[in-house]
A and B are shown apart, each in its own frame.
Chain A
Amino acid sequence: MTLLELRHVSRIHGSGASAVTALNDVSFAVQPGELVAVMGPSGSGKSTLLNLAGGLDTPTNGDVLVEGVSLGELSSRALAAVRRRSVGYVFQDLNLLPALTAAENVSLPRELDGVPLRRARTEALATLERFGLSDVADRFPDDLSGGQQQRVAIARAFIGERRLLLADEPTGALDTTTGESVLRLLREQCAAGAGGVLVTHEARHAAWADRIVFLRDGRVVDETGEARRPNGDAIATGGRS
């Protein structure tokens, strides 16, 4: 099943003379196993697209579907459940809770899922280990380096087998090799059946994606690679292997 689909989505902020069209008739889909990168100049609508995809914002026009369910038709409670269970986010400004330790930040989404505390903690520690963060599990965000905070935020998005991973500039404060290891993990998670959308302005990082979508002034202006069908076949034939 298609994990994420945007159908003719537009988002206009404000109205009248001060209206800003952040996204203009954008359609695109992410299949299981696929990692899609979104690139574009500052203000081109990348974060807007991600917020709409994750149900954190509502389109002015068009439909957003997560695992076949149109978010616009859901009650706010049902929407909250989709956001919690299906979607993992890494925000541009991280959003770690300063009063919680790294491990608590990572286990929080699982606790909200209703997973028993002890199991949530075990899962959190395992996820932190995958990101090379075992040493900092019991530290608070303020006592972590920028790069460590970033990896904790990513670990939080990965916990609990979330099927759709949305990441806004997740590699910002990371050095080359750490940034790359994060992308490898994102890549692996997608190969294992998740779908991912990665917003980045770094070409080197976008290159880990199966497909790169270019936004400009709220529109998709170009794409590399071919959109996949839900069964995993590429739609277009010929071209590059």
Chain B
Amino acid sequence: MSVKLGLLALLDEQPMYGYQLHTTFKERTGDTWPLNIGQVYTTLARLERDGLVEAAGDDGDGHQIYALTDTGRAELSQWFATPVARSDRPRDELAIKLSVALTVSGVDVREVLQTQRTATLRDLQDLTRQKAAVDEGDLAWLLALDSLIFQAEAEARWLDSCEERLLKKEVRR
């Protein structure tokens, strides 16, 4: 997900100032999406330049409040209507690494697989721990965590199937 669209979605709920946006973004995505306050301000500046948000006064304490424009709202609907292409996620390194490991002599591919599996399962444990601590009412955050959990699970299953293929190949030899 692009940070830009994430911020637009939050501004669609209510106009906010930069610091508020930063806090809300972190609340919604946990720490799974690193974003610093500086990025929030530069993104807001770019969004304003492109006419997607506009300044909407201050909060009385001198904080500049931003609101979504109609163009911004249209961009947001467009985003929700478009599926995310899997190729947008730079996860292919692993597939490449395994294919390469198969052809390089002296590399124990099952070890490579196991190392990856342990790492993936650790991530999965971390995510599950976060999920166990989430209040049932916080549906948005639960859904986001579930998505990450199912992605990690898919990777683990893919690793299992790689190992099965590898075993079949060894048996045939």
Contact = CB atoms under 8 A, between A and B. Distances in A.
Given A201-B160, A206-B121, A216-B114, 18 more contacts: A41-B160, A202-B153, A203-B124, A203-B152, A203-B153, A203-B156, A204-B128, A204-B153, A207-B121, A207-B124, A207-B128, A209-B125, A212-B125, A222-B114, A223-B118, A224-B118, A224-B121, A225-B122
Nearest to A37: B121
Contacts of B163: 41
B26 interface: no
Nearest to A241: B126
Contacts of A130: none
Interface residues of B, number: 24
A204 B132 contact: no
Contacts of A209: 125
A240 B115 CA distance: 16
A216 B132 CA distance: 29
A79 to B, nearest CB: 34
Given A41-B163, A203-B157, A214-B114, A225 B149 contact: no
Contacts, number: 54
Interface residues of A, number: 21
Interface in A12-44: 39, 41
A216 B111 CA distance: 12
A184 interface: yes
B127 interface: yes
Q: Is the contact region of chain B dominated by helix, strand, or loop, or is it mixed? A: helix
Interface string B22-54: 000000000000000000000000000000000
A187 interface: yes
Contact of A212 (B110, B121, B167): B121
Interface of A: 39, 41, 184, 187, 201-204, 206-209, 212, 214, 216, 221-225, 240
B125 A187 contact: no
Contacts of B153: 202-204
Contacts of A201: 160
Nearest to B119: A224
30 contacts: A39-B121, A41-B160, A41-B164, A41-B167, A184-B132, A201-B160, A203-B121, A203-B124, A203-B152, A203-B153, A203-B156, A204-B128, A204-B150, A207-B121, A207-B124, A207-B127, A207-B149, A208-B132, A209-B125, A212-B125, A214-B117, A216-B110, A216-B114, A221-B114, A222-B114, A222-B115, A222-B117, A224-B121, A224-B125, A240-B126
B69 interface: no
B148 to A, nearest CB: 11
6 tightest Cβ-Cβ pairs between the two chains A and B: A203-B156, A207-B124, A207-B128, A204-B153, A207-B125, A224-B122
A187 B120 CA distance: 21
